[in-house]
Amino acid sequence: MRNLISAEWTKMLPHKGTWFLVWLYPVLFFVIFAITIMVASKGTKPETVAGWIEDTSVVWHIASISLGRYLIAGYFAVVFAGEYGWNTWKLVVPHASRWKLLGSKYLVTLGLLYIAWIATALISVLMRYLGSAVSGEALPQGLTLGTILYEHGKLLLLGIAPLLITAGYATTAAISTRSTLATVIISIVLVTLDELLGKIVQWLSSYGMEWPAIPYRILPGYHLQNLASWMAEGAGFQAKLATGTVIAYSETVSLLAIAGWVVGLAGLVLWVFRRQDIN
Amino acid sequence: MHEDPVLEITELSKTYGRKAGGVRAVQDVSLTVRAGEVYGFLGANGAGKSTTIRMLLGLITPTSGSVRLFGKDLRHGEPSRRLGSLVDGGAFYPFLSGRKNLDVLARTQGLGTERIDPLLAQVGLEKDGKRKVKGYSTGMRQRLGVAAALLNDPDLVILDEPANGLDAAGIQEMRRLIRSLAEEHGKTVFLSSHLLNEVQQVCDRVAIIDRGVLIREDTVEGILKTEESFHIVATPLDAARAALVESWPCEIEGDGLQVRAGRADAPEILRRLVAAKVDVFSMAPHQRTLEEAFLAITGTETADA
């Protein structure tokens, strides 16, 4: 497996898709912070600890917002469906088990994303610190390395579930359709559905329709929102329908639901790929 | 060459789609490849060559049948470290250099990188190894494919159309390389090709597949021997044909008669023609090429094999 990870790493690192969809984050954040420093005026009002950390931890929200999830899906599409486009599965499949090839791909793709995000978070903290120094703004009282690490770590954990679900959508579409474009389109539809289904269900409930709440309870959208709410606010997310029904689940139920989706989608990808004829 | 079978295929079949309306790409193909031989796999486009090769490599799941590799049953999806392959010669990561592609492949197989440079030199790509593959010609990709097939120093090398895209000099070089793999390095080579002239020059034995069915497996000499014929210039041709057709397959070709028969039949053929009052001007043995034999065996009209 270590060999396959090393092979995947060697292959993906110089790829343009990796440069655009992974290293985009540190580069973009560096540029944004640099511009902010340049236009910042002296004697800016001091920030609170929460505000200072919020400024430096935007990167960890990428996995939770629609645009970020589209970019993640695009990256997984390039990596997984790309092998069909380049016709290269037949180069590697005769030499390694298919589950190992998929596993190493998952690990390297996720690993590269996290390396880029950690680098982005580091750049954000350093550039924010530099910005404070340049503008003469004092660091907020009580801001410590421990606080920064704790808050960043919390947000990192918050992003794992939507990242894995998005990766699951994209890899399932990639292995099934064998097309990068189709994978991107399907993933955009599914991610958008995750975001919009709650609103659609609430709107339909105002016409007395409650059956759309059934898929909403099952699909990952509600559970992602519920987990995020539990982690950020310490309380679950409640979807109150016009019919009077309240959809609310415990943290454990949502965690199990998301775990089920992640394992289910990964299992589906493996099942399809193992049976797939590579012509 | 040894008699030990390196590869044994038994009643291998592949049907695409549901059984009722499915397409039977390969039907009950059985063949044996012995250690140290160069084995040619011939067939027209769509005959089932590539499907068979992909089943050997675990790329396609057989519908039925079995494959034994080095005496062991090959389970689908189980990689064999003693096997090297070239399928679709141009299938490489276009954004990587030739050398980097081999590096990725070596890592995939858990191999070191020490064989990469000698192999690039062996296939004549030592100067182009650092160039990205997307800038390679078809022939260069093909040669890189051969290097990739030899990366793990395999005992059995499977080459699907290795001469595709090569120029005359490249084909000659490839022919030399394939023969040297068997003769100097003791490797077994299983190759499919549509260049029958090349197959005739490099292969010890061949199998001919047509519409998914294996119709002939023999040595090249064996196939050519049974395809011996005579070209007879005589008049009248209709009478000549009538005198011979009951005993030997014959066809009128131009100003002569093509009679498929062995050398030993020559006196009897002449006697019958004389008895039928046919004037014989010449009778010349015609050694068919493998291409002609292939066309006769498969009954195809074109040379697109």
Query: What is the residue whose two structure tokens read 């060697």?
Result: A10
Instruction: List all residues 6 or more positions away from B254 whose beta carbon is below 8 Å from its beta carbon.
Output: none
Asked if residue A64 lies in contact with residue A160, where contact means CB atoms within 8 angstroms, the answer is no
- Model pLDDT for residues A77-99, shown as the tens digit of each residue: 999 998 998 888 888 887 778 88
For residue A106, is it within any domain?
yes
Question: In whole angstroms, what is the distance from residue A220 CA to residue A257 CA?
Answer: 7
Interchain contact, B100 vs A10, CB within 8 Å: yes
Distance, in Å, from the CA atom of B71 to the CA atom of B73, rounded to the nearest integer, reads 7
**The total number of structural domains that make up chain A:** 1
The answer to whether position A270 is within a domain reads: no
3-class secondary structure, B96? coil
Summary mean pLDDT of chain A: 87
Helix A220-233 vs helix A145-177: crossing angle, to nearest 10: 180
For residues A251-278, one letter each, b for 16 or more C-beta atoms within 10 angstroms of the residue's C-beta and e for the rest, the string is beebbebbeebbeebbeebbeebeebeb
On whether residue A19 sits in a domain, the answer given is: yes
Interface A-B, measured as beta-carbon pairs within 8 A, has a size of 83
The string of pLDDT tens digits covering residues B19-63 is 667 788 888 889 989 888 889 888 877 888 888 988 888 888 888
* Contacting residues of B for A87, CB less than 8 Å apart: 88, 90-91
Over residues B117-137, the mean pLDDT reads 86
User: Which of A35-44, A126-135, A222-231, A262-271 comes out lowest in average pLDDT?
Assistant: A35-44
The answer to whether position A139 is within a domain reads: yes
Q: How confident is the model at residue A75, as a pLDDT?
A: 93
Structure confidence by residue, pLDDT tens digits, B282-292: 888 776 677 77
pLDDT at A256 over 90: yes
The structure tokens 């002296």 sit at A42
CA distance B198 to B42: 11
**Predicted complex ipTM exceeds 0.95:** no
User: Can you tell me the mean pLDDT for A166-175?
Assistant: 94
Is A251 inside a domain boundary? Answer: no
Task: Indicate yes or no: CB of B91 within 8 angstroms of CB of A93.
Answer: no
The Cα of A266 is separated from the nearest Cα of chain B by a number of Å equal to 19
Say if A261 falls within a structural domain.
no
| In a domain? residue A178 | yes
Nearest C-alpha neighbor of A104 from the set A6, A175, A238: A6
Pairing of strands B64-69, B72-73: antiparallel
Structural domains in chain B, sorted by start: 5-82+154-224 (3.40.50.300), 229-287 (3.30.70)
pLDDT exceeds 60 at position B303: no
Residues from chain B that touch A97, judged by Cβ atoms under 8 A, are: 77-79
In the numeric block, the tokens 């001091």 are attached to A46
Please report how the helices A98-135 and A145-177 are oriented relative to each other, as an axis angle in degrees rounded to 10: 140
* pLDDT tier at A119, thresholds 50, 70, 90: very high
Residue A243 counted as domain residue? no
Range of the domain at A72: 2-193
A221 secondary structure, DSSP code: H
Instruction: Tally the C-alpha atoms within 13 A of residue B186's C-alpha that lie toward its C-beta.
Output: 4
The verdict on a CB contact (< 8 Å) between A10 and B109 is no
| pLDDT band at residue B2 using 50, 70 and 90 as cut-offs | low
